[in-house]
Chain A
Amino acid sequence: MSGCRDWLAHLVLGLGAALFLLPIWLAFCAATLDPAAIDRGELSLVPRLDHLGVFLEVLRHGGPGVGPVWRMLAVSAAMALAIALGKIAISILSAYAVVFFRFPFRRTAFWIIFVTLMLPVEVRIIPTYAVMADLHFIDTFQGLTVPLIASATATLLFRQTFVAIPDELLEAARMDGAGPLRFLWDVVLPVSAANLAALFVILFVYGWNQYLWPLLAATSPRLDTVVIGIVKMIGIDTSTEWNKVMATAVLALVPPVLVVVGLQRWFVKGLTEGEK
């Protein structure tokens, strides 16, 4: 009975995996085809292994309208890292304040943070742009990242983690002589390490996939992220070199996948482990 169920479970899992992998495989194969073949709609499920050089070529030289892909990957990585780490730093501090300190309007502060969940970048994009313009942040790396850093989601997640830390641990640390920053660094952060890693994965992928804000905030090619680059390569008037677009798209998938795979043990632990 259980053997049969196992078999069925594996079949469903396999089908699901195939469903997710198919578009990626298609993109990979398309990258190795002739541009003209794709224009004619002749998609193949068999890659042409003699054309694998296209990946190196876009990495080094880019395509029509954009610089080398390695540069755009670097910009994307820097942006995603800055957003993920910035969000984590700010969220930890605000969650720490809300959970462990008694100050006037603590609940109000928490609810104001909560309400910003309803104000993603897309909703506040025009005022945000105006603020960034006043700060002369347009077309700079700060302009690309800072507006995306404030994060209610991460604050809420950390709040839940911190609330679960037993009061006695705080009291023991106070008796031991740890001040607030020492307690944060020596106890709270190590105890929440798994949640931290899980959140880093989510936020890195979130930062990596940003499209709308980078499109607005950075116009110079030196700040092109790889997501922007892919769109720029799809020309409107000129003929598009689809193989290069596909190659770039496949390359753009690699870093987030590496982050997820690298941290997956922590990721699962952080999302499933309840008791501290």
Chain B
Amino acid sequence: MTADLVLEGVHKSYGQSAVLHGIDLALAAGEMLVIVGASGCGKSTLLRLVAGLESLTAGRVLLAGQDITARDPAARDIAMVFQNYALYPHMSVFDNMAYGLRIRGRSRSEIARRVEETAALLGLGELLARKPRQLSGGQRQRVAMGRAIVREPKLFLFDEPLSNLDAKLRVSMRAEIRRLQRRLGVTSLYVTHDQVEAMTLGDRLLVLHQGRAVQLATPMEVFERPADSYVAGFIGAPAMNFLSATLLPGGGGADLGPLGRLEFADGPRPGPAGRRLTLGIRPEHVALDPAGIPFTVDLVEPLGSETVLIGRLPQGEMLALKRAGGPPPAETLAIVLPPAQFHVFDAASGLRLDPARAAG
């Protein structure tokens, strides 16, 4: 697969404040890459730089082998779907979708054919004469996508397109976007703060944190092997539990203080004895065991098929756990933290520490 969209050392600063600190990225043709991060991490800025709505401070953007860094948005052959749809309020659905083609001087018959094809694809055939204000939120979002699709661009950009929809519609539109993107095979960048969207839509995820790319990997890899404690806490709901620890001599285990000692199941970690660590374990991996550590439940969040329990360990550490079924029988439970499920991070840098052999 050849790289279709390439970002090289993309920097963006507004005056003194740097928003993006050098992003490198290569998307294969037809790939859907989801950029995810908390608000203010620079993900929307990155998208707008690719669109040409903002100019780069340094770096290059290449699309299909051509350097488009200095090109006008219109000359980039990129279409964008906006968070608030940005439909032209005075134009009909047909005109909204046809506008870009008209400006590009396509013939009347070609425009009519392409708009109607796209409308049929999106189930908008009956609505072509309506104005945006006569449409529901979901229909508006479809029109916004239709406007992007009808131009047959080299690249789609999605800027949190589902965040204005209600929860149920969001789920169905999410599936529809995925289906359409696969079917059309257009390379896409999708920005979201919603980790469920990120996990379900992306071929790969790019996790941004404070203007830096923290991890670029498939969704399952991001979930199973988060690159640092920020990613570990950001992806997954409820968030991963973190405990402070220090490395034991030899690196084969960690000292969790009053909680005892932990033998690493997958091999020793590098570093001197006493190295400060952050150990992470996901709530679904915390198991109930009558012989385990006492756990006092503070808050019960029943989700139907499963229940989230938030509570305290004897020394006051907060911990969340997820168990199948309904609320627990008692307010005090006993839990075990299975050693095989721990993620090990360096406490100072936050970076993941893998077993010395694999890392070496």
A residues with CB within 8 A of B: 166, 168-169, 171-178, 182, 186-187, 190-191, 193, 276
Please choose the segment from B58-66, B75-83, B272-280 that sits at the chain A interface, where 4 or more of its residues have CB less than 8 A away.
B75-83
What is the CA–CA distance of A214 and B100 in the complex, to the nearest angstrom?
48
B180 at the interface (CB under 8 A from A): no
Q: Which of B41-95 contact A (CB under 8 A)?
A: 51-53, 72-74, 78-80, 82-91
What is the CA–CA distance of A87 and B313 in the complex, to the nearest angstrom?
74
A162 to chain B, nearest CB (A): 14
Contact present for A177 and B103 (CB under 8 Å): yes
Contact present for B90 and A174 (CB under 8 Å): no
Contact present for B86 and A171 (CB under 8 Å): yes
Q: Is the interface of B mostly helix, strand, loop or mixed?
A: loop
Contact present for A174 and B82 (CB under 8 Å): no
Q: Which of A168, A174, A178 has the most CB of B within 10 A?
A: A168
What is the CA–CA distance of A172 and B72 in the complex, to the nearest angstrom?
13
- Which residue in A174, A187, A193 is a CB contact (below 8 Å) of B53? A174
- Which residue in B73, B89, B147 is a CB contact (below 8 Å) of A276? B89
What is the CA–CA distance of A173 and B100 in the complex, to the nearest angstrom?
8
Contacts of B80 in A (CB 8 A): 171-172, 175
Closest 8 pairs between A and B when the two form their complex, measured CB to CB = A177-B74, A168-B86, A176-B100, A172-B86, A190-B90, A177-B103, A168-B82, A174-B73
Contacts of A169 in B (CB 8 A): 86, 88
- Pairs A–B under 8 Å by Cβ, sample size 21: A166-B86, A168-B82, A168-B84, A168-B85, A169-B88, A171-B53, A171-B86, A172-B80, A172-B87, A172-B88, A172-B147, A173-B99, A174-B73, A175-B51, A175-B73, A175-B80, A175-B100, A186-B88, A190-B90, A191-B88, A191-B90
What is the CA–CA distance of A172 and B80 in the complex, to the nearest angstrom?
7
B104 at the interface (CB under 8 A from A): yes
What is the CA–CA distance of A182 and B100 in the complex, to the nearest angstrom?
12
Interface size on B, residues (CB 8 A): 25
B residues with CB within 8 A of A: 51-53, 72-74, 78-80, 82-91, 99-100, 103-104, 147, 151
Q: Taking A175-B51, A175-B100, A190-B91 as given, write out 8 further A-B residue pairs in contact, using a Cβ cutoff of 8 Å, ordered by the A residue number.
A: A166-B86, A168-B82, A171-B73, A172-B147, A174-B72, A175-B80, A176-B103, A191-B88
Contacts of A177 in B (CB 8 A): 74, 100, 103-104
What is the CA–CA distance of A177 and B78 in the complex, to the nearest angstrom?
10
| Known contacts A168-B82, A186-B99; A174/B74 CB under 8 A | yes
What is the CA–CA distance of A193 and B90 in the complex, to the nearest angstrom?
10
Q: Which of B51, B85, B90 has the most CB of A within 10 A?
A: B90
What is the CA–CA distance of A174 and B103 in the complex, to the nearest angstrom?
11
Name the CB-closest residue of B to A178: B103
What is the CA–CA distance of A276 and B89 in the complex, to the nearest angstrom?
8
Contacts of B87 in A (CB 8 A): 172
Name the CB-closest residue of B to A176: B100
Contacts of A191 in B (CB 8 A): 88-90
What is the CA–CA distance of A175 and B151 in the complex, to the nearest angstrom?
11
A275 to chain B, nearest CB (A): 10
What is the CA–CA distance of A182 and B82 in the complex, to the nearest angstrom?
21
Name the CB-closest residue of B to A174: B73
What is the CA–CA distance of A174 and B100 in the complex, to the nearest angstrom?
9
What is the CA–CA distance of A231 and B14 in the complex, to the nearest angstrom?
62
What is the CA–CA distance of A174 and B72 in the complex, to the nearest angstrom?
8
A119 to chain B, nearest CB (A): 36
Contacts of B72 in A (CB 8 A): 174
Name the CB-closest residue of A to B87: A172
Name the CB-closest residue of A to B74: A177
Name the CB-closest residue of B to A187: B88
A221 to chain B, nearest CB (A): 46
Contacts of A182 in B (CB 8 A): 103
| Known contacts A168-B84, A168-B86, A169-B88; A175/B79 CB under 8 A | yes
B193 to chain A, nearest CB (A): 18
What is the CA–CA distance of A182 and B102 in the complex, to the nearest angstrom?
11
